[in-house]
């Protein structure tokens, strides 16, 4: 009997379903070996040799695996097709040799890789096994050692200089930096006044259809109106002006479909459409992958297998007709410098008319699968074609006023047949007008506006920014975003990230003392260097040495010379009820916000911090609606009278439409 080693029990069950009974599929249930948690686990003096040990609690599982391996005729290491999967395969390989006492020959163990869990893909992989990829192992070791050095050497420094219990990380620190800098941009921002002026005009003959046009130019200069006085003057002139159609410009616009999903674009789409966290999206995608429904979901590649393209084209022709099928298959160029995590984009593994998955997988799985299905089918369809019309209207009253409006009508929906439009203003039907046609003014509509600060990051935009900077990889986005919230460096309110005083203090300390290490370009270059290791272009030991030697010296200097950082606290404007001297302030601890005395540690007074939203509970009407947190730091709204009143909601209530209990 042959033995196949995979990571998860679900993956094992899926493979078992379509392989013959003479194959035993066993799951490692994650990593078998890792660096020890109790110490650094990296021998800096011995060329950064990592000290991998068996993960505590896995001894019995390993014993059972070794027993199965001794009985097997062939052993296939079928862990995931990325660096982590290669590392798990390698550690399984090591364990078999360490524990089997020579009873497992080396040529008996083979590595197989597949990017979808289907009978065809697994059998094809078994027919073409390979050896463990040493280059991928080196890249994984380099990343693990690098992150361990940063985390275990910088964290104690943060304990001494900022606060105990803090930690540092390469990618997480950069992510916090982005959020802190955006917060400062918002605070520094000063809004500028500007005015948008519209005119509602109508035909003087026929159906007299109305048309709203936007003021664009005044006497051949851009209409730049920045105060009410100038706006009133323009409004007066527009009210007196005579109007006519100056020009009608028509053109055909073609819009191509988007590329199939990568990890980044999938998590962004799920965040925008479903308001999901990256962690949730990856969890649902993991389930779909392990059940054999989609290809591997940790990928930065937009490549598609030709066989999958042909199946999609066949489905499109059958379902929608040959008018929706382009003459040639659509091929997409991967934007990532090195798409090392997988060789394909995320796509369904089977072509069926229904886009839903069986109900046993749950509603979330059905929603994400539908999103992946639609994106994949659309990417192989014809472009959408629109007729776009721009109408220019001239108003004359001493001055010449140029006003414009545009409308777009669908001529051929193409890939939009699958992915429907979002928003209400994409299409606007314009009346049939002729050049020089006279128009009648109905009213002038002046709108005072102010420039807005840059938007705070949300799950989608922070991932998009990290990817654009070349920082992080498909497997790191979700855990990074989760980690910075758990450690209270940032908090998420209404799906947007806000920096906390702790996050600001850590960010400022690290950037002040280690500016090179946490520079965007340096971190991105380090990711590129790790990719070079994976391609065999660089040696991981030299890479780590070049990074660590200057950092190690700097650590000692900073520990000796840097001053302790004071974390800013929000004052409540009340005296401490215990010592009567200090002020009550809001601090952030391991379990979130709490009230403390400003004289801490001289005064140890603490109390719960209750954040109210300014309205009564929509259920009992007695308690206040307050913001609470789950154990995983997710905010929700509840009643202050809990447990007497159990009302709770993920959505912020409003007096007009309070949400029901959820």
Strand ranges, E, within 513-645: 570-575, 583-589, 592-597, 606-608, 611-616, 624-629, 635-639
Query: Which residues are bridge partners to 242 per DSSP?
Result: 396
Tell me the C-alpha distance between 39 and 487, whole Å.
21
Under a CB-based contact definition with an 8 Å cutoff, are residues 58 and 34 in contact? no
Strand, coil or helix: 356: coil
Under a CB-based contact definition with an 8 Å cutoff, are residues 296 and 289 in contact? yes
Long-range contacts of 65-70 (CB under 8 A, 24+ apart): 65/5, 65/26, 65/28, 65/92, 65/95, 65/96, 66/95, 66/96, 66/99, 66/100, 68/3, 68/24, 68/26, 69/3, 69/96, 69/100, 69/104, 70/100, 70/103, 70/104
Tell me the C-alpha distance between 204 and 336, whole Å.
56
Tell me the C-alpha distance between 113 and 129, whole Å.
8
152 is catalytic: no
> Do strands 2-6 and 23-27 pair parallel, antiparallel, or not at all (unpaired)?
parallel
- Among residues 429, 430, 426, 427, the alpha carbon closest in space to that of 439 is found at 430
The torsion angle over the Cα atoms of residues 498, 503, 508 and 511, rounded to 10 degrees, is -100
Tell me the C-alpha distance between 405 and 38, whole Å.
66
Tell me the C-alpha distance between 321 and 56, whole Å.
58
Under a CB-based contact definition with an 8 Å cutoff, are residues 381 and 415 in contact? yes
Choose the catalytic residue: 296, 369, 477, 489. 296
Contacts of 456 (CB under 8 A, 6+ apart): 179, 182, 183, 186, 496, 497, 498
The torsion angle over the Cα atoms of residues 273, 279, 281 and 284, rounded to 10 degrees, is -150
- Residues assigned a catalytic role: 296
């Amino acid at each position: 009997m042959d033995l196949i080693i995979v990571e998860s029990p679900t993956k094992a069950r899926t493979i078992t379903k379509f392989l013959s009974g003479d194959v035993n599929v066993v799951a490692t249930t994650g990593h078998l070996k890792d660096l020890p948690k109790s110490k650094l686990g990296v021998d800096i003096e011995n060329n950064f040799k990592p000290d991998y040990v068996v993960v505590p609690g896995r001894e019995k599982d390993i014993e059972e695996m070794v027993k199965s391996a001794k009985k097997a005729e062939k052993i296939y290491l079928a862990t995931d097709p990325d660096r982590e999967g290669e590392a798990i395969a390698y550690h399984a390989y090591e364990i078999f040799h360490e524990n089997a006492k020579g009873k497992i020959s080396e040529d008996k163990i083979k590595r197989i890789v597949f990017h979808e869990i289907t009978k065809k893909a697994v059998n094809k992989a078994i027919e073409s096994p390979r050896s463990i990829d040493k280059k991928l192992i080196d890249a994984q070791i380099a990343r693990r050692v690098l992150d361990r050095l940063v985390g275990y050497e910088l964290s104690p420094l943060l304990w001494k200089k900022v606060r105990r219990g803090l930690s540092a990380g390469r990618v997480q620190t950069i992510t916090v930096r982005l959020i802190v800098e955006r917060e400062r941009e918002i605070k520094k921002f000063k809004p500028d006044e500007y005015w948008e002026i519209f005119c509602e005009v109508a035909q003087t003959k026929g159906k007299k259809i109305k048309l709203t046009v936007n003021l664009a130019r005044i006497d051949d200069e851009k209409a730049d109106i920045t105060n009410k006085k100038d706006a009133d003057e323009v409004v007066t002139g527009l009210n007196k002006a005579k109007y006519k159609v100056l020009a009608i410009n028509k053109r055909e616009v073609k819009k191509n479909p988007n590329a199939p999903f990568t990890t980044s674009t999938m998590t962004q789409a799920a965040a925008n459409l479903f308001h999901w966290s990256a962690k949730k999206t990856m969890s649902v995608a993991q389930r779909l992958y392990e059940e054999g429904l989609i290809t591997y979901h940790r990928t930065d590649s937009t490549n598609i297998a030709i066989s999958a393209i042909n199946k999609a084209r066949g489905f499109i022709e059958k379902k929608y007709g040959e008018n929706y099928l382009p003459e040639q298959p659509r091929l997409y160029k991967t934007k990532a410098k090195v798409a090392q995590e997988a060789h394909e984009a995320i796509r369904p593994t089977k072509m069926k008319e229904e886009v839903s998955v069986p109900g046993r997988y749950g509603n979330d799985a059905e929603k994400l699968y539908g999103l992946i299905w639609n994106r994949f089918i659309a990417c192989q369809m014809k472009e959408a074609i629109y007729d776009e019309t721009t109408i220019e209207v001239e108003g004359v009253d001493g001055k010449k006023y140029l006003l414009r409006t545009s409308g777009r009508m669908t001529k051929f929906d193409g890939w939009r047949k699958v992915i429907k439009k979002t928003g209400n203003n994409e299409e606007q039907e314009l009346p049939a007008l002729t050049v020089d046609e006279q128009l009648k003014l109905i009213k002038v509509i002046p709108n005072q506006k102010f420039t807005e600060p840059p938007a705070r990051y949300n799950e989608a935009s922070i991932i998009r920014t990290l990817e654009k900077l070349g920082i992080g990889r498909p497997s790191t986005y979700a855990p990074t975003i989760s980690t910075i919230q758990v450690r209270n460096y940032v908090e998420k309110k209404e799906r947007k990230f806000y920096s906390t005083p702790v996050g600001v203090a850590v960010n400022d300390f690290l950037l002040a003392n280690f500016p090179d290490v946490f520079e965007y370009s340096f971190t991105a270059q380090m990711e590129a260097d790790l990719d070079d290791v994976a391609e065999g272009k660089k040696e991981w030991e030299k890479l780590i040495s070049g990074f660590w030697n200057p950092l190690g010296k700097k650590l000692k200097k900073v520990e000796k010379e840097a001053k302790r950082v004071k974390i800013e606290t929000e004052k409540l404007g009340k005296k401490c009820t215990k010592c009567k001297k200090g002020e009550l302030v809001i601090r952030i601890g391991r379990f979130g916000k709490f009230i403390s005395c400003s004289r801490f540690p001289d005064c140890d007074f603490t109390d719960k911090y209750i954040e109210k939203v300014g309205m009564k509970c929509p259920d009992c009407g007695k308690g206040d609606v307050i913001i609470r947190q789950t154990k995983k730091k997710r905010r929700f709204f509840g009643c202050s009278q809990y447990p007497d009143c159990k009302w709770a909601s993920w959505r912020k209530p409003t007096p007009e439409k309070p949400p029901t209990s959820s």
